[in-house]
Chain A
Amino acid sequence: MMNRYPLWKNLLILIVALSGFYYAAPNLYAPDPALQIAGASSSQQIDDRLLSRAQGALDEAGIGFFGEVLQNQGKSALIRLNDREQQLRAQSILSRELGDGFIVALNLAPTTPDWLMEGGATPMKLGLDLSGGVHFKLEVDVAAAAERKLNQYETGIQKRLREERIRGRISLEGSKVAMQFRTEADRESARREVADLYPELFLDRVDEGDTWSLYAEVTEQTIKEVVDYAVTQNLTTMRNRVNELGVSEPLVQRQGANRIVVELPGIQDTAEAKRILGKVANLEFRLVAEANAPISDRQRFEYRSADRGGMTEWLERDVIITGESVSNAQAGFDQNGQPNVSISLDGEGGMLMSRATRANIKRRMGVLFIERKYRTRYEQDESGEEIAVRIPYDEKKLLTAPVIQSALGAQFQITGLDNPAESSELALMLRAGALAAPITFVEERTVGPSLGAENIQLGMRSVQVGLALVVVFMMLYYRVFGVAAVIALSGNLVLLVGIMSLLGATLTLPGIAGIVLTVGMAVDANVLIFARIREEIRGGSPPQTAIAQGFDRAIVTILDANITTLIVAIILYAIGTGPIKGFAVTLSVGIITSMFCSIMGTRALINLIYGGRRVKTLAIGGVARKVAGTEEAAG
């Protein structure tokens, strides 16, 4: 029994430890408070002239800054500030100087040195409970979505039956559209028409006395699709709007079937955030004005897309329909494989559209996209302080202006699009007006910046105190072996932070608690091993054998115990939300790293200390004195 590790094992441990340090290191560099400047629309470029304007404004206000750079090929710029206290003031100064065309966002710029950046090492992200910010959870109202859909079906069926001159009574009954007819023949033709119009409806025939009834039921699947559609639609609009809020690292994510989570680090003004997130876009369909139309009857609009930047079109003042009439818009392909967008209108919209287009074939029709925007004005309040006032206005821009090929009804296509990307973008915009289902805020958490900073501080202090207590205890109780365990434990902590940074995990307050808990539990494997070694010594084994046997026999126990804990951690991750997930991640990673560190790491250290030489006693505490031959019977 020589207790020596082969070279490759020692090397492996060394490499793991070094990479742990490397990837954990970025967390040691505190980020700089910074401001990020970006254009309000994605096409806007930021140049050196703008940057020097910003610098001038900051200079004038006496705010210290450094390291200003352009980023993302001139799409944004970053200015680092000397003092975190001045960040908010600097933001308002710059917003004012640069105007509404630019968004100035609070940012924490990492200060990771180049030698770490090269290996892809980045610091851990801080959760909202540590950085401060707003967390929203929005929910699509499933019941309302179903009801709205049902109403659409009712109007649609009514209209079709009227057109086909089928007489019957149509009403809503619970989750069904009920139709009553005088004759069976009427019902049969109605059934055919409805099945043709809405193949997704489930149709059921019921005979009650002398009325022939037909029930059309919305299937679960259809409701699911409606909700799904509403969530996807909202998700996209939210992403676009969040950019307006001036947040450097926003998160917009779908959660479950009908929820959307929005996280905005650094935002304090929740009312403002909600106003922007909750605003509704709309559409207007208008004919393109004829060249000789009087100026009082027409208006000029710019195109929205950057490809046609600056191009304009004259439209008539009369609105054919608005976006509320659009019930669906889907990107697809026509029979020639060209990208197109299919639009469905509701009954009334279809009627208006057909009336307007019938007489205007070969003319063009423009689609306007209307968005609520805000203009900032600075005013003095009663006490003479300057305050920013946000004035809303509607921005109307032209999406497209296709030629009308034939009289349009409730269903029509826009063709002649350049590529599938354009068609899906257009479909998305067209759907924006038709909010498929109402959406409500079901959860909201705001954490102020001071509380966040305090949480970090408290968390760090408990890690330090906890670690110190464990270190002292282990060294007193297990002597040399305790020192080895403590080194392994510190290595474990570094490795844990390194892996979490590498995984891009977010550090939350419960995550810190998980780290603390890991510190406490991680020594367990070593305690198990040391207890076995002590037993071996009591049983009369020579020191080297005791070490080898102690490690070998404890490993099975350690594995069993840790795998079961891992199962629990995974369940925690699966059901948990936000901060709880953070705790589960820390716990799982901690279990794995602590097994590696306390089994392999400690063994390597013990081998270095005791391995390969004759040893009379082991400094493992408790039983050390009894080693020299005095056997004690167990049991």
Chain B
Amino acid sequence: MKVIPFMKWRWIAVAMSAAALLAAIGSLSVRQLNWGLDFTGGTLVEVAYSDSADLSAIRAVLDQEGYEGAVVVSFGTDKDVLVRLPDGYSDEQGALMVDKLRAATDLDIELRRIEFVGPQVGEELRDDGGIAMLTALGLVMLYVAFRFQIKFALGAVIALAHDVIFTLGFFSLTGLEFDLTVLAALLAVVGYSLNDTIVVSDRIRENLRKIRRASPSEIIDVSLTETLGRTLVTSLTTLLVLAALALFGGEMIFGFAVALLVGVAVGTYSSMYVAATTLLQLGVNKEDVMVPEREGADQDGLIP
């Protein structure tokens, strides 16, 4: 098989990644995220009208009833309407609002869902999410450092951080809502991307031990070439099911599916370029992955 000189182009990849990350961080600091109800607190009501709903009429009703800051959008179809109230309304307001909407129209209204999240819960979820992400990265780094070596662990964690920031940036730029399911998806992205990175690292370690007379850069090229088929096939099957989820899973799961689609795609790239490039720049070499000599055998004599 022909070895693809991946590492020769690594600076192009670094430049691309750097640009993407800068854009992501820039967008995150300027536009921030479109936090979902889970994190901001507030009230959300989804109702289904028996025929297409007149959004401006609904807005007028809500205005008149004094629901300040209510956002009315159609959801999925033109019969489904989503109303979001900012934080500060009491927990009963959602149900009351449905009654008022019912009174204001001749159409039948079916209640689809009401969600109320108090401010304290939202804040807490945001903190917990951040902590979970950091814990995940930390534990993963420990495990990889233990099973492989610290340079591999750094490579893996940098690749993971790269994927998470990229996906966050994507949500920030597109303005897609960032809710609790997206957070879960992000953690799943960490899991997935890690899976990829481990497979690649495993091969690099194996080849470092096996192939004599080759530079680390050549060995990484060989390893990436050998695993390329597997990496692409697995990503493809995962992307296929995720596409099915995004297309058929419905509105409530859409953000989740999109986060994973983006995360898996960028994770595939990062396990090849980000993790491997980091390894190379950290100066990975054969000594790093030497199978340790059996300690008992030659130390026996030293112990008095």
Contact = CB atoms under 8 A, between A and B. Distances in A.
Interface of A: 129, 137, 139, 268, 270-271, 274, 440-448, 450-451, 454-455, 458-459, 461-462, 465-467, 469-470, 473-474, 477, 509-510, 512-513, 516-517, 519-521, 523-524, 527-528, 531, 534-535, 538, 556-557, 560-565, 567-569, 571-572, 574-577, 579-580, 583-584, 587, 632, 634-635
Interface stretch (B20-28, B54-62, B232-240, B293-301): B232-240
B194 interface: yes
A567 B113 contact: no
A358 to B, nearest CB: 47
B161 interface: no
Nearest to A584: B184
A469 B241 contact: yes
Contacts of A517: 188, 238, 241-242, 245, 260
Interface in B241-256: 241-245, 247-250, 252-253, 256
A442 B1 contact: no
Nearest to A587: B188
Contacts of A510: 181, 184, 253, 256
A601 to B, nearest CB: 17
B91 A441 contact: yes
Contacts of A519: 241
9 contacts: A443-B118, A454-B250, A459-B250, A459-B253, A509-B253, A521-B238, A556-B202, A569-B191, A580-B184
B187 A572 contact: yes
Interface residues of B, number: 74
- Pick from B46, B187, B242, B260 the residue with the most CB of A within 10 Å: B187
- Pick from B3, B135, B253 the residue with the most CB of A within 10 Å: B253
Q: Which 9 A-B pairs have the closest CB atoms?
A: A466-B241, A442-B118, A520-B241, A520-B238, A568-B191, A458-B250, A466-B244, A444-B116, A465-B244
Contacts of A448: 110-113
A520 B242 contact: yes
B11 interface: no
B191 to A, nearest CB: 4
Contacts, number: 224
Interface in B185-240: 187-188, 190-192, 194-196, 198-199, 202-203, 211, 222, 226-227, 229-230, 233-234, 236-240
B241 A274 contact: no
A409 B248 CA distance: 69
Contacts of A466: 240-242, 244-245
Contact of B244 (A440, A462, A556, A568): A462
Contacts of A129: 252
Nearest to A135: B115
Contacts of B240: 466, 469-470, 473, 520
A442 B121 contact: yes
A334 B222 CA distance: 81
Given A513-B249, A523-B234, A580-B181, A568 B136 contact: yes
B263 to A, nearest CB: 11
Given A271-B95, A446-B113, A528 B211 contact: no
Contacts of B181: 510, 513, 579-580, 583
A477 B240 CA distance: 14
Contacts of B115: 444-446
B114 interface: yes
B243 to A, nearest CB: 8
B234 A270 contact: no
B249 A565 contact: no
A521 B143 contact: no
A289 to B, nearest CB: 43
A259 to B, nearest CB: 9
A579 B118 contact: no
A326 B284 CA distance: 71
Contacts of A467: 241
Given A513-B256, A524-B234, A568 B199 contact: no
B257 interface: yes
Nearest to A451: B112
A268 B202 contact: no
A524 B180 contact: no
Given A467-B241, A473-B236, 20 more contacts: A441-B91, A445-B116, A446-B95, A446-B113, A446-B114, A447-B113, A465-B244, A510-B184, A513-B249, A516-B249, A517-B188, A524-B237, A527-B233, A528-B230, A531-B233, A564-B194, A565-B191, A571-B136, A577-B125, A583-B184
A561 B256 contact: no
Contacts of A572: 132, 184, 187-188
Interface string B111-147: 1111111101100010011011001100110011001
Contacts of B274: none
Contacts of B3: 635
A573 B131 CA distance: 13
Contacts of A563: 143
B92 interface: yes
